[in-house]
Structure 1
């Protein structure tokens, strides 16, 4: 008869940001442990609130399935002597499997032992795996408390472990499991009995704990949008904010608060940021897109004395907005351009000067990159001005208090100072993308400023030997690298980053004898990030390896070739791959210096020379025009000539002059695919 399993871990308030990962881990780990134990089950569902994580397994079998296994032993010649008697090898093998020698089976020259393990009761299996579920969870940070060695994300206060109505004994950090859970801190019972797993969700709701996070999410959204509709307003929506609030409350009740209209004189960002990032409020906007003096928030409780809660939230927000108003008014006493001196007081990185020094480097890098991407004169002027102002908002009180507003307030202050919209936008866009899935810069000036700022950050950090390893990346260099690559992929600027790295290293005074090594590290780091981008797009490994084997490619080249190869699929053309692989094996270490046509003897080599010369010209013209589809189409045109050449011509001729000339011919023919990458990667 199928049973249900409930395991609830009650703890002190768990950080909201940790919860999605914890619940996913718990679900995956539970399913994996049951599968490993060969115990059939129905569904595995996880639940979570600030004070608990739980897993509910439906339709758990009474016991695990019997397992029949076939074990391969030594060969017959080793297992039996010349007289057919079992040797020590056979006897030991049988004993190890709990069998008599006579039970062994001979097949295909080997002996086999066939064993059957009887199923184990669900109770015994669950007793074993529940402690493993606790210890198997990983957290960004763990705690241990008292004088205990046990660790968990927060101190564990109770455990519920039920197989139907039977308590499964589990102990963790001196806490013994039972059938007693706890309700909402202020509204529910401090302790109550869970009769059986099937009653878990309903029993908790009676005690003001909406334990199903999916239901809780929908209830929160319904309440928020209902209030917004009453106010004839739109919510400044943020999925991440909803997800955080979701794991801060056990019994959600949305409410609306307000603030004085006078605060609307502040830039919208100066109001929205304190609301969302500091107070976890949803701002409201009018139907025509103007910020309203109202906000929505979610209380962890019912609607009793909701007016008091509203007033408290309004008072806290008012203090935040007063701070913002003060900083804004103080900041406006000095234009951004007059704040350059303040950059000398802000350290960039240890041993690498201050932000004034960084600004000087960015000005020079901007000229180098601007020339490389052929930035027009107007954009170059805008870039220089935006670079001068790029970091000045870091000296303002507003950004010092609300660091999330770097770039945002720079844009606002630049506009108020009378700077051009293009310059102001670039100041904001320098930090884009700020996180995975964020928007990319739209203006050419913003794209360049974003790229050179990130290149300077990455090269500077690498020059200090702080290259990210494993999961450690305190300077977010991986994110910045992916940002650069995505900007280049979107812009299609045909810019090779190698010279930009060299310029950055020179500006950072990296010793000449260290630059080659550092350049290699940077290129490897960027190549791996680009590979990850392509893997996310489901491009096959061997195609990625083909393209990235050509280190001379710009990001635009790699992107163009990636799309062309995926449309043409030369990697699936077996005859083509074989022909060029054969050439690669001959000339992989040969440098092309030219073919002496007068030394071509055989008709097949003369034909290949004519075809390869034409193909190389066609390929080069397509390359010059960034016609990547044309470049990728050329190799197939030579396959017949290549095959005929290898059929009729002895490349490794006894005459060294003829041999060398034929290798040059092969090198010429191979060049039409070498421009794409190393064909050996397709094998």
Structure 2
């Protein structure tokens, strides 16, 4: 059977840069799935994506489907013919759909009766018959939130389409999409090679486009940019902290990347570097250079889509573009410094946080009160935490933050320093939103942790308190991120805080405006439930997390300690048997809960195995109590794992549900004691 490589490419106007990689990957997956569904085998598939093209390359693709026999089962014989043996309407309709007469059908006997059946030989279709519809289906299924139409076209797509190429080896597959007929012409580089490119063979795709100044491979362009940035950093004895999302976006903006450097006036360095960096990255897609100790240099790297003979012209142009943007930041900073953060508190009343929960000033006051309570529990300075919480949202009223919202908090720290606030207060204002994203840094000082926790808890308790729980992918107040941040701070900074207590403190700050009576339990379940995804990323099995969740410890740090202990316990040889035994114990006790409350009576222990179990439990009980007092959960489970043999002997040799009620109840009490010891750490009966 013929096999060859397939190239499918659509040439477009510039595609959305922030989603280009995602579009390319989705296009490849959809084409691959379509070929699999069509039962056309292939060796491999990959995507290509640049600003003006989406392409899929499929290696070793079959040209023709295999012939196959298809069995079509019809109605039961008793329903297919009447008493006189004439076909019924059901049989006639089924046969007509297959293009046969009812008499042409075979009969299939099964345990459930006899059925009409027809076996048809289906000839395999060739790729040219299948591909156009397959490509159309894939393009229509791309994850595009909003399509557009252009000119007189009736066919919507994410951007106007100019070319369509479907090439199998050297064979052009005819078809039409978006009013464009398939051809072997591709778009070259918009400036370096504006004339069309003729593709002779699918396997020449990458090399053919390279001659037209297009690097079609997204990752290759990305690596080219990274290497260019590294050379720039080395040349300036500096470092470039590469933002992965920015790198992807810039990769999606160019087809022939060239990395250059430019400079800006050193006087702008008097502005906080965060504002300058955001301006360069967010507005201009530049890459700032920093010294080894993190200070901003008056130099930036940028990526151009042109290999110019006079690059200095491009450099000068980018320097002219960045100057007014940095001048704006400088103006905002100098203007904002004329007014203190404290003087902006009253203006927070004019900004609504949430209709039922009040203004930003209300929120700041709640954060201040809660941060003060948290600071006391951490042994930090309560007055610093209160002050930082009170001023935490004041920078939202500055011109700098209004223009560049991403620097909120950070600018608050700079303005607090300018206002001569205590260093602890300024640092806490800057750290209140940490962590902002997965893997982000955490607040350093106890005061900063108190304010960051208070900010997140206030949002969680407030939004849950008015019944606005996140549903599906809708989470407008970023409650999931707040919950994960709260957990990370408590666990990674080793803060022995009880969430239940903190939620109570938070609820008190709201007075009587919360309407949800179940807010405390719902917030607890929501926050602790985030542990599932967090531990899953660490490779910890779901059953381990469930074992701890079932005990509902409300301290994140304590929760984490239990997780580590159960994970270790699960690796022990005795773990599987003890988990099964605990499950058996749980089932027995669940059916006889009312009979298992009494203490164990030693005088009623008649069997050797139950005497041994009682004695081992008594000795282990004190060891467990001592380890629990030190919160050494790992040692607790190690001690309990030593009961493995006596527990097995008990179930092998003792009839728990004895006819004698006193013996039965005493044995149930013994099992209750065993179960209680294990449950002090986690419910290991749920372990797989």
Q: One fold, TM greater than 0.5?
A: yes
**Residues 131, 171 of structure 1: 8 Å contact kept:** no
Q: Distance in 2 between matches of 1:511 and 1:233?
A: 53
Question: 1:499 aligns to what?
Answer: 501
- The Cα shift of 1:21 comes to 1.1
- Judge conservation of contact 1:72–1:110 (CA < 8 Å) in 2: no
SS at 2:259 equivalent: strand
CA displacement 1:301-340 (0-9 Å, x = unmatched): 2314533332232222111111111111112223333433
What are the equivalent positions in structure 2 for 1:81-92 lying under 5 Å apart?
Answer: none
Residue of structure 1 aligned with 2:478, choices 467, 476, 492: 476
Q: Does 1:328 align with 2:333?
A: yes
Change (3 A) 1:644 1:510: farther
State how far apart, in whole Å, the 1-side matches of 2:406 and 2:22 are. Answer: 25
Distance 1:626 1:662 in 2: 30
Aligned to 1:526: 527
- Select which of 375, 379, 385 maps to 2:378: 375
Note the C-alpha offset of 1:298: 1.5
For 2:84, the equivalent position in structure 1 comes to none
- Aligned to 2:182, the other structure's residue is in SS state strand
Unaligned runs of 5+ in 1: 80-86
Match of 2:319 in 1: 314
* Distance across 2 between alignment mates of 1:598 and 1:39: 73
- Unaligned stretches of 5+ in structure 2? 80-86
TM-score by length of 2: 0.86
For residues 67 and 370 of structure 1, the distance between their equivalents in structure 2, rounded to whole angstroms, comes to 73
- Asked whether the equivalents of residues 105 and 118 of structure 2 are also in contact (C-alpha less than 8 Å), the reply is no
Alignment of 1:597 with 2:605, yes or no, is: no
Matches for 1:181-200 after TM superposition, within 5 Å: 181-200=186-205
Aligned counterparts, 1:509-658, within 5 A:
509=511, 514-516=516-518, 518-569=519-570, 573-588=575-590, 590=593, 595=599, 597=601, 600-602=604-606, 605=610, 607-646=612-651, 647-651=653-657, 655=661
Shift of 1:585: 1.3
- Residue deviations 1:470-523, cap 9 Å, x none? 22222222222222222222123333323323333343346687322x334323
> CA distance change for structure 1 residues 366 and 680 in 2, over 3 Å: closer, same or farther?
same
Whether the 8 Å CA contact 2:221–2:257 is kept in 1: the answer is: yes
Deviation, 1:289, is 5.0
SS of 1:209's equivalent in the other structure is: coil
Residue 17 to residue 512, structure 1, CA distance change in 2 (3 Å): closer
- The 1-side partners of 2:280 and 2:50 are apart by 23
Deviates more, 1:599-608 or 1:346-355: 599-608
The answer as to 2:279 corresponding to 1:266 is no
The corresponding residue for 1:82 is: none
Supply the distance in 2 between the matched residues of 1:210 and 1:261 (Cα, whole angstroms).
36
* Preserved contact between residue 123 and residue 163 of structure 1 (Cα < 8 Å): no
Return the alpha-carbon distance in structure 2 between the equivalents of residues 74 and 667 of structure 1.
59
1:226 offset after TM fit, Å? Answer: 3.6
Provide Cα deviations, 1:525-562, integer angstroms capped at 9, x if missing partner: 22432111122222223222222222235322332222
Alignment equivalent of 1:337, drawn from 339, 342, 353: 342
Is 1:29 aligned to residue 33 of structure 2?
A: no
Conservation of the 8 A alpha-carbon contact between 1:62 and 1:122: yes
Q: Secondary structure at the match of 1:514?
A: coil
Distance 2:75 2:566 in 1: 49
Determine the C-alpha separation between the residues in 1 that align with 2:674 and 2:649: 13
Which residue is 1:392 aligned to?
Answer: 394
Q: Residues 634 and 222 of structure 1: is their aligned pair in 2 closer, same or farther, counting only changes over 3 Å?
A: closer
**Corresponding position of 2:469:** 467
| Alignment check: 8 A CA contact 1:159 1:177 kept | yes
Deviation at residue 682 of structure 1 after TM alignment? 3.0
Deviations 1:593-618 (A, max 9, x none): 55163774535555544433443333
Match of 2:678 in 1: 673
Which secondary structure state, in structure 2, belongs to the residue aligned with residue 139 of structure 1?
coil
Aligned to 2:82: none
1:58 and 2:59 are equivalent in the alignment: yes
- What is the distance in 2 between the residues matched to 1:78 and 1:564? 65
Tell me the secondary structure at the aligned position of residue 433 of structure 1. coil
- The match for 2:173 is 168
* Cα distance in structure 1, aligned partners of 2:154 and 2:528: 43
Change (3 A) 1:72 1:682: farther
- What's the secondary structure of 2:261's corresponding residue? strand
Kindly tell me: are residues 474 and 174 of structure 1, through their superposed partners in 2, closer, same or farther at Cα, counting changes over 3 Å? Answer: farther
The alpha-carbon distance between structure 1 residues 441 and 153, as it changes in their structure 2 partners (threshold 3 A), is farther
Of 419, 422, 427, the residue aligned with 2:421 is 419
- On the 8 A contact 2:380/2:446 being kept in 1, the answer is no
Which of residues 201, 219, 223 in structure 2 aligns to 1:218? 223
SS in 2 for 1:235: coil
Following the alignment from structure 2 to structure 1, what is the Cα–Cα distance between the partners of residues 535 and 27? 30
Cα distance in 1, alignment partners of residues 681 and 78 from structure 2: 54
- Aligned residue pairs, count: 672
Classify the secondary structure of the residue corresponding to 2:55: strand
Q: 1:631/1:598 Cα in 2 relative to 1: closer, same or farther (>3 Å)? A: closer
Task: State the match for 1:452 in structure 2.
Answer: 454
1:46 and 2:44 aligned: no
Q: Please, what is the CA RMSD of the aligned residues?
A: 3.8
Native 8 Å contact 1:602 1:649 kept in 2 = no
Residue 543 of structure 1 contacts residue 571 of structure 1 at CA under 8 Å; is this kept in 2? no
Instruction: Give 1:83's aligned residue.
Output: none
* Structure 1 residue 422: Cα displacement: 3.3
